[in-house]
Amino acid sequence: MKGLAHEQIRALETHYRAWREVASRGGPTDRKRAENAIGKLYTVSGHDWPSFVWYESPRELLISQANSLGRYGLVSIRDSFCETIRLQSGEKELKKSLRLMPGALGAVPFERFPDQQWGLIMETVPESLQRVMVESLGEISVGLELDGIAFHEFCDRHLGVKYESGRLDRLRRWSEIGKSCYWWAPYETTCFVSDGPTAIHLDASERIHNLRGPAMAFNDGWSLYSIHGCFVSERLVMQPEEVRPEDLPLDESLEVLHATIEMLGHERFLAAARARLIQQDVFGRLYQIPFHDYEPILLVEVTNATPEPDGSVRHHLLRVPPEVETAHEAVACSFGRRTKAYAPAVQT
C-alpha cells in the first residue's frame, strides 16, 4: 500500500478517535435505535425481523445464558453475521499498513481498546459466569468486533475501497449496531440484548480507572471497580477503612500499587497490608509484607525533607527488591545507586 496523503492521515486519526469514544461511551441506551440496527442486519442477511429480550447489564444477560432462560432450542446466527466483517484476501495487509502509520491510531492500539471492558467484566463476574462467557463467545457479540467495524468503515469512507454491494450493506448495518448497541446475542427468531454502561471512567492512558467510585456502572446497580485498567474490589474504593489484605493489588504494576497507596494513605495501607517494620535508620523505614507463598514484598517509607505549604510532611512508600536489608540500601536502590555511594549531604 502506498503512503496515505496528509489529509487521509488526519482522517484516520479522527476516525479512530471517534470510535474510541464509541467504545467508551456511557449513558442511557437507545433501545429503539439498537433494535432497528440489529433488525436491519437480520433482514439484509436473509432472516426475519427478530423479537427482542432486553437486560439491564451484561451480568443479567450471562445469567440468562447460564440458565438457558427463553432460548432453549434456538440456533445462534452470530457466526454467519460476523463473516461479513472478517478480513478477506488483501485486507489483512491493508489493516497492518494502517497500524504502522506513525501516530495514526494514537497511543493505544484500537484493537486492544475494546478488550478492556470484556476483560474487566470477565474478572468481576463469579467463576460460574466466567465459564458462560467463554462458552458463549460464539453466540454473544461483546464489542470485540468494533476494531473490524472501524477498519471497514474507514476503508469505505476514506480509502475508496470497493466492497461487493451486499457486503457493504451488511457492513453499514454493523457500523450502526456498533454505535448503538452493547452486548447482543442473535438467534434465528430472537435477539437477547444488554443495555450499555451508564458511566465509564478512563485514566489519561485510556484505561478503565476511577479512584472515587465505580469505573463502570449499569442500570441494575451492578458496578465494576478498576485502577489503571486493573480490577480491584469494591471495598478498596468505596470502604477504604475496612480494606483487608486480599483487597490490595500487591501483584499488579508499580503504577497500580502506588495509586492504591496514594488513595489509602501510607498509614492505612501499611495497616491493611499487615506490614511489619523490619529495620529503620536515618534514611527511612523498611517494611515487609507477607504475600501468599511468594517472596515477601518490601517497601521503604521515606519523608520529604521540605514541608508542604500547610506545614505537613509528605510520606512516600517505594517498593524495593526483596534482597534489600536496610532502609539506607533501599533508598539507594531506588536511585540506582549502591549503599556506600548514596550519602547525600543535603536532602531536598
Query: For 226-245, what is each residue's pLDDT tens digit?
Result: 999 999 999 999 999 999 99
Residue type (1 letter), 343: A
pTM of the predicted model over 0.85: yes
CA distances in angstroms from 235 to 217, 226, 241, 274, listed in the order given: 15, 12, 9, 17
Strand duo 230-231 + 51-55: pairing: unpaired
Which SS3 state, helix, strand or coil, does residue 50 take? coil
The H or E element containing residue 81 is helix 78-82
Q: Is 313 left (phi over 0), alpha (psi -120 to 50) or beta?
A: beta
pLDDT in tens, the chain (348 residues): 556 778 888 888 899 999 999 999 999 999 999 999 999 999 999 999 999 999 999 999 999 988 875 556 789 999 999 999 999 988 998 888 887 665 555 545 687 788 999 999 999 999 999 999 998 889 999 999 999 999 999 999 999 899 999 999 999 999 999 999 999 999 999 999 999 999 999 999 999 999 999 999 999 999 999 999 999 999 999 999 999 999 999 989 999 999 999 999 999 999 999 999 999 999 899 999 988 777 889 999 988 766 667 666 678 899 999 899 999 999 888 766 555 445 554 444
Nearest to 289 by CA among 263, 269, 260, 309: 269
Q: Quick one: the chain helix, strand, coil %, rounded to 5?
A: 40, 15, 45
Q: Which residues pair with 152 in a beta bridge?
A: none
The pLDDT score that the predictor gives to residue 305 is: 64
Cα 282-283-288 angle, rounded to 5 deg: 110
Main-chain dihedrals φ then ψ at residue 299, nearest 5 degrees: -130, 140
